[in-house]
């Protein structure tokens, strides 16, 4: 079966993948936005985790076929299933999974796979479920999906760029894919592909600065987080159920719960907090103490947001191969551009503080005094 896709044209989906797609856990991803509230800034950003999962599956298949001449299906199935543990509004709910359950969305995803019909679909085929799980955890060939130049990253940068209308994320995916190979059973890059890797890292940085960390997107996401926390704290939402809800489910619950309805209503009506501060911040900025300072000045905990953002990347390295497929060093050693950009990104810290527009003038001196005292 072929599925038409605006990024990669036709995506071929085999019979096993079709069965996986039909599972309710996968179908839920049709109703989980890839970029959460980014559509409040970029109206076209209504694409979903379902589309992204298909694209990640497709790119992983392309990469394996290019490397080995055939497709080891456990790898693209990891791409298809890699986001199945995402809660509603994607990354914005990660804090709840981590805080209340001490789990990542990948760990939740593995639990879903193990306990659902998806396990039987894979086990009843000729594939190895044990090998699939190893790859799902990002080991060896699993990095074809999750690694520095993995299919996950190639798809989301291309797809997010397309739907937001921001050109920064555009990649020559075919060229990059053609230069990726395996070394010691994990991804490596031919030297001729270094420029493609540079392009991807630059695209990632620019998409973070212009889309993912756009101040309005950050403010809306933080306000949603406050609404979600309030509903969890009063027992309206069980954190264990977060990855069974889609965006509409959560909006309905939060909009009808007394402790969260006002905040969620502001997000949905785009009556967002206004910026008090948006700029550089010390790496060890005590955000909780800034919150205390604002509360001492008369602000309630739901009257403001304070988010420290960083651009830290730790997963950009992979071996570079020269003539005779001999390793010539890590990516950052071969590319000074990547080394410098990675250093810049890892040293960048940003603080966004916002509150109701009527109280911005009251909040500004509090924030400025706090920052000047550090």
Which domain CATH number covers 227? 3.30.70
Same-domain pairing of 122 and 226: no
> What per-residue confidence (pLDDT) applies to 169?
67
Helical spans, DSSP H, in the chain? 15-22, 24-27, 49-68, 74-81, 94-101, 105-115, 117-123, 129-136, 143-146, 151-164, 173-178, 194-207, 215-233, 247-255, 261-268, 287-296, 331-334, 336-346, 360-372
Domain that holds residue 119: 2-214
Q: Is 297 domain-assigned?
A: yes
pLDDT per residue over 79-138, tens digit each? 999 999 999 998 888 888 898 989 999 999 999 999 999 999 998 888 899 999 999 999
Residue found by looking up tokens 């212009």 in the block = 210
Banded model confidence at residue 8, pLDDT cuts 50, 70, 90: very high
> What per-residue confidence (pLDDT) applies to 170?
73
**Both structure tokens of 342:** 């990675």
Q: Whole-angstrom Cα distance, residue 267 to residue 272?
A: 6
Same-domain pairing of 143 and 240: no
Number of domains in the chain: 2
| Burial label, 374 (beta-carbon count in 10 A; 0-12, 13-18, 19+) | exposed
Orientation of helix 74-81 relative to helix 129-136, angle to 10°: 50
**CB-based contacts of 185, cutoff 8 Å, min separation 6:** 140, 141
Same-domain pairing of 197 and 285: no
Q: Whole-angstrom Cα distance, residue 140 to residue 135?
A: 7
**Both structure tokens of 101:** 């359950």
pLDDT per residue over 38-85, tens digit each? 999 999 999 999 999 999 999 999 999 998 877 788 999 999 999 999
pLDDT per residue over 272-282, tens digit each? 999 999 998 88
pLDDT per residue over 250-270, tens digit each? 999 999 999 999 999 999 999
DSSP label at residue 354: E
pLDDT per residue over 222-241, tens digit each? 999 999 999 999 999 999 99
Report the predicted TM-score, pTM, of the whole model to 2 decimal places. 0.93
* Better-predicted residue by pLDDT, 93 or 271: 271
- Count of residues in the chain: 374
pLDDT per residue over 153-199, tens digit each? 999 999 999 999 998 767 788 889 999 999 988 899 999 999 999 99
Q: Whole-angstrom Cα distance, residue 276 to residue 120?
A: 52
pLDDT per residue over 350-370, tens digit each? 999 999 999 999 999 999 999
Same-domain pairing of 209 and 236: no
Last residue of a domain, one of 192, 214, 236: 214
Instruction: Give the helix/strand (H/E) hosting 306.
Output: strand 304-310
Last residue of a domain, one of 214, 230, 262: 214
């Amino acid at each position: 079966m072929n599925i038409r896709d605006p990024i990669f044209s036709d995506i071929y989906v085999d019979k096993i993948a079709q069965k996986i797609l039909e599972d309710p856990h996968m179908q839920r991803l049709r109703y989980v936005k890839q970029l959460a509230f980014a559509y409040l800034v970029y109206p076209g950003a209504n694409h979903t985790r379902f589309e992204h999962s298909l694209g990640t599956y497709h790119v992983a298949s392309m990469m394996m076929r290019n490397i080995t001449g055939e497709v080891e299906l456990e790898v693209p199935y990891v791409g298809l299933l890699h986001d199945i543990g995402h809660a509603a509004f994607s990354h914005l709910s990660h804090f709840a999974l981590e805080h209340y359950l001490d789990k990542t969305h990948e760990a939740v995803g593995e639990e879903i796979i193990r306990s659902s019909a998806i396990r039987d679909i894979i086990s009843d085929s000729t594939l190895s479920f044990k090998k699939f799980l190893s790859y799902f955890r990002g080991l060896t060939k699993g990095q074809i999906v999750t690694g520095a130049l993995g299919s996950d990253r190639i798809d989301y940068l291309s797809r997010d760029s397309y739907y937001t209308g921001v050109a920064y994320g555009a990649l020559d995916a075919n060229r990059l894919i053609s230069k990726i190979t395996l070394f010691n059973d994990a991804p490596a890059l031919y030297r001729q592909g270094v420029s493609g890797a540079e392009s991807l890292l630059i695209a990632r940085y620019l998409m973070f600065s212009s889309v993912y960390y756009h101040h309005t997107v950050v403010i809306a996401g933080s306000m949603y987080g406050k609404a979600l926390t309030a509903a969890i704290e009063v027992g309206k939402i069980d954190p264990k159920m977060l990855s069974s809800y889609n965006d509409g489910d959560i909006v309905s619950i939060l909009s009808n719960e007394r402790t969260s309805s006002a905040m969620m209503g502001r997000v949905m009506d785009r009556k967002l907090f206004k910026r008090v501060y948006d700029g550089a911040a010390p790496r060890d900025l005590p955000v909780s103490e800034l919150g205390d300072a604002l509360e001492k000045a008369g602000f309630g905990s739901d009257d403001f947001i304070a988010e420290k953002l960083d651009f830290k990347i730790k997963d950009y390295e992979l071996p570079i191969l020269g003539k005779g497929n001999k390793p010539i060093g890590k990516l950052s050693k071969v590319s000074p551009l990547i080394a410098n950009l990675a250093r810049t990104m890892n040293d960048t810290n940003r603080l966004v503080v916002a509150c109701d527009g009527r109280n911005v003038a009251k909040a500004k001196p509090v924030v400025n005094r706090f920052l000047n005292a550090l």
